[in-house]
Structure formats: C-alpha cells, structure tokens
Amino acid sequence: MKFAWSFILIFFSCLPSTYAQNLIPNSSFERTDDFVYSNPPDAFQYLNDWYVAAYDIQVPMNQITPDFFDDNHRWPISDPANFWNRDYGAFDGVAHVGIANFMLLEGYRPPEAIGCLLESTLETDEFYHFDIQVRNKGISSFDGNPLLCVSDEYKQIDILFDSDSIFILIDSEANDSYVDVDRTLTLNSDRLETEFKGAWHQLGSCFQATGGERFMTIAMSNGMFEVDPPCEINEEQFGVFHIYYYDIDDVHLTKLPKSISLKEQICINRNTKINIDLLADFPIMQQPIEYLWEDGTIDSIKFINTPGLYTIQASLDCTTIPIYLEIEATNCDPKVFVPNAFSPNYDGINDQLQTFIAVESPIVQYEFSIFDRWGNEIFKTKDIATFWDGSVRNKPLDAGVFTWLLEYTIDDLDNGLTSYKETGDVLLLN
C-alpha cells in the first residue's frame, strides 16, 4: 500500500467449481519473477499475470499498491495496523495478496484493486461462477477505539469484467473516483463486516456474461461514508479515519453448465434419501440454492422409492439450471451365507458353522439357533461372532442333518428397523 497524497498521513512505504477450466491465471498467486523480497507493497510488482488496477490521477504514476505476501520470505513488520502479521499465511500454497480501503477524513474511501487478463474471452449470454478465499484482517482506527467510531461504509469486494483492462482512477483532490465499468458482482458476508481479524472463508456468486469480456478487476468498494458521534471528522485529526483490510487467495472463474445429468441407485421397495445438493455439487453462492422437484417438492432432500427420470430445477444467484436425475433400482436386501455342511474334526478345514451377513446398515439384533431332527434346540447365540462346533454341552454329536434358524434386524437410517428371518439345513460330517 503506497500513498503520496499530501493530506494523508503515510503509514505504509482474480465448485472451486469442477465443471470447467479455471479462467483465472495464476489463481493462487504462486508464480512470480525472481526478486529480492523487501516488503509486501514493493513485492507486488513481481507477481505474474496480475497488475495494480487503481491510480491517483493527481499524482503521476502513484499506484494504490496492494500487498503481496510470500510465506517463504520474511518481510518486516512495520505497519502500525499490524496487517503484515507473519502469523497469517496463505490459504493455498505459500502466497496471497492483501488489499485495503482507506477511510479519509473528508468522508471518502479510495480502494485498492488488482486486475488480470483472463485465460479466454467470456461467451455471450453464458453463465459463469466466481469464487475467492477471503480473510478479514480487521480494522485499524486512528482516532480511538474502532468499536466506538461507527461509520456507515459497506464492507465488500467488487468484481468487474470488461473487454478492456479496468482501472479505478482516483481523484485525491476532488475526493472521488472514476471507473467506466459497472460492477458485475458484489461479494459480502458477516465475516467481512466485523472489526476483528478472522479466518479464511470462501465467497462466491454467478453472473451472465455480455460477451467479449477478457479482463477482470478485484477491488475494495469506493465511495463516500459518514461517521456517527462521538467520532467526528475535523481538520485536527489525522488524514486517515481508519483502514479495513482483506487478504485474498485461490481465485476461480468457471463457466456453469447448461444442465446437469446425474445417475443414482436406490433400493427396491425402500425409501432412499437423495440429497441433490451433494450430488450436483454446485459451487458456493451468495444466496442458498433452491431446488424445485417436478412434483412440487421444494427441498434439496427427497425420499425416493421408485426408479425413473426425475427433473429438478436448481435456482442459483444468476440463473436456473435443470438437473436430470436418473434413478435405478437394485436389490439391497442383506446377502446371507450359511454353509450347507461342515466337519468339526479339527483338521482346520470347515470345522465350524457360522453365519455370514453382507449388509451396509448396522445389525442391531441377531439370533442364530440349531435344532435336531425332533425340533429340539441344541444351540443358540446372540453374538454374530459365535460359531457352533457340532457339539452339545461339549459332547460331539453324530453325523446327521440339522436345521438352523437365523433372525436379525438391521437399522436403516432412511427406513428405520427392518427384521429378517431365514432358515435352512446343514449336514454335520464326522
């Protein structure tokens, strides 16, 4: 951050989406030219693919310079606001960028901004998604406790796109700024509004391209603001009322699909919970995504027990995308195997009779019984790990055919408790 304005006290010498290619070059700010790291604002000029996008027209070549941080370098901690604290590393990799808003005593706030040339031109009327990792570094106040100095400025990040490079031109004498491009997106959240330092969090939204946009600018908001008592703006105070500051990293811009086709399996004759939000895996939006099923259901979750093709309309910030969900049915009943013969002769081969149940849901009740040919129960267990060794009261039985009965209950989270009962014969061999 560099300023050369005479009336300012100087304190400081563009799912992630998986649908398409990321159009942001050097999206995590990792690529740089070789340079000797001195301090964050001077280091920004060596960052590849990004440029400073805010200038003061009253001071020739006076860039409103963002900060570039590289965790592999030790930069001096020299800013009074402590925005350069080395304890705050990158979200992804080792590098990130910091941008600030300076609240001037005249009630104006000039923004810092960065720009880049996209990897490809945006297509006419196509919808795109933008997201970014942001960390609030808090507010530094220069006239007392920042919590007592209430101002009405909106704290947000503006995203602009155009066919030509976008620069915010600041007139330090008129306390005004000029940019001939309307903002495309405004990103905000409760975490950006707070006066305290926070953690990385993702912001995102989507928009419809006009067509031909090739450049993007990420900027702090600019404009006028007012201050409530007891903090009054007067000539006796410093040139800066206060500063708020955001770290940014991991920038993505991807084209949204026109539709989404999904396939999912359900169990025959059972309700299966379908979470379309998880299946579609949309990237983050400013507003919650709303889902409308063809039967009128408005929810991301629906219980389905019938195969077929389902159509869901997903309402995003900027458009509605149809989802075509093909449901196939399969037999999900537990698979049970009980040997039809065993030989408890202690040769290490088929010496025991034990059940095997293949099921995804937990077994909450189990009972396995053996009966002789007269119907007398000679073995019983409620432990699925317990086996029958062909004996009664530790006395081996003669060879013969015995009947087994298996009863068990599974706990299906979508369908509750389901009980099963199976029976069969087993041949005991000596």
Q: Compute CA 404 distance to the chain's CA centroid, rounded to the nearest angstrom.
A: 52
C-alpha–C-alpha distance, residues 38 and 85, integer Å? 15
CB-CB contact of 252 with 131 (8 Å): yes
Residue 116, pLDDT above cutoff 60: yes
Residue 424, pLDDT above cutoff 60: yes
C-alpha–C-alpha distance, residues 401 and 426, integer Å? 6
C-alpha–C-alpha distance, residues 113 and 222, integer Å? 10
CB-CB contact of 344 with 382 (8 Å): no
Question: Percentage helix, strand, coil, to 5, in the chain?
Answer: 5, 45, 50
Closest C-alpha among 133, 221, 140 to residue 179: 221
The string of pLDDT tens digits covering residues 362-375 is: 999 999 999 999 99
Q: How many CA atoms lie within 13 A of 105 on its CB side?
A: 15
* Angle CA 204–27–180, to nearest 5: 65
Residue 393 is which amino acid? R
Average pLDDT of the residues in 326-342: 92
User: For the purposes of burial, counting CB atoms within 10 Å of the CB of 60, is it exposed (0-12), middle (13-18) or buried (19 or more)?
Assistant: exposed
More confident residue, 265 or 174: 265
Amino acid 10: pLDDT: 25
| Segments in 20-100 forming alpha helices (H) | 40-43
Query: Other CB atoms closer than 10 Å to residue 411's CB: what's the count?
Result: 13
Predicted TM-score (pTM) of the model is 0.77
Q: How far is CA 53 from CA 42, 112, 173, 268, 353, in A?
A: 15, 7, 19, 59, 77
Closest C-alpha among 327, 289, 284, 286 to residue 308: 327
The least confident of 28-37, 209-218, 219-228 is 219-228
pLDDT band at 121 (very low <50, low <70, confident <90, very high): very high
Scored b (16 or more CB within 10 A) or e, 271-283 reads: bbebebeeebebb
Dihedral over alpha carbons 348, 349, 351, 355 (to 10 degrees)? 120
The string of pLDDT tens digits covering residues 373-421 is: 999 999 999 999 999 999 999 899 999 999 999 999 999 877 788 899 9
Closest C-alpha among 79, 235, 232 to residue 143: 232
Residue 95, pLDDT above cutoff 50: yes
Q: Which two tokens stand for residue 371?
A: 């009966």
Residue 9, pLDDT above cutoff 70: no
The kind and range of the H/E element at 293 are strand 290-293
Q: How far is CA 26 from CA 31, 63, 118, 153, in A?
A: 6, 21, 10, 31
- The set of residues, in sequence order, having a beta carbon less than 8 Å from that of 83 and lying 6+ positions away, is 67, 98, 100, 137, 140, 243, 245
Average pLDDT of the residues in 335-357: 92
Site of tokens 């070789």: 34
Residue 293, pLDDT above cutoff 90: yes
Q: Which of 87-96, 125-134, 416-425 has the highest mean pLDDT?
A: 125-134
Q: Which of 73-77, 101-105, 324-328 has the highest mean pLDDT?
A: 324-328
Beta-bridge partner residues of 325: 262, 310
Q: Is 43 helix (H, G, I), strand (E, B) or coil?
A: helix
Q: How many CA atoms lie within 13 A of 160 on its CB side?
A: 23
Domains of the chain: 40-255 (2.60.120), 260-330 (2.60.40.10), 335-428 (2.60.40)
Beta-bridge partner residues of 148: none
Average pLDDT of the residues in 150-165: 82
C-alpha–C-alpha distance, residues 265 and 279, integer Å? 12
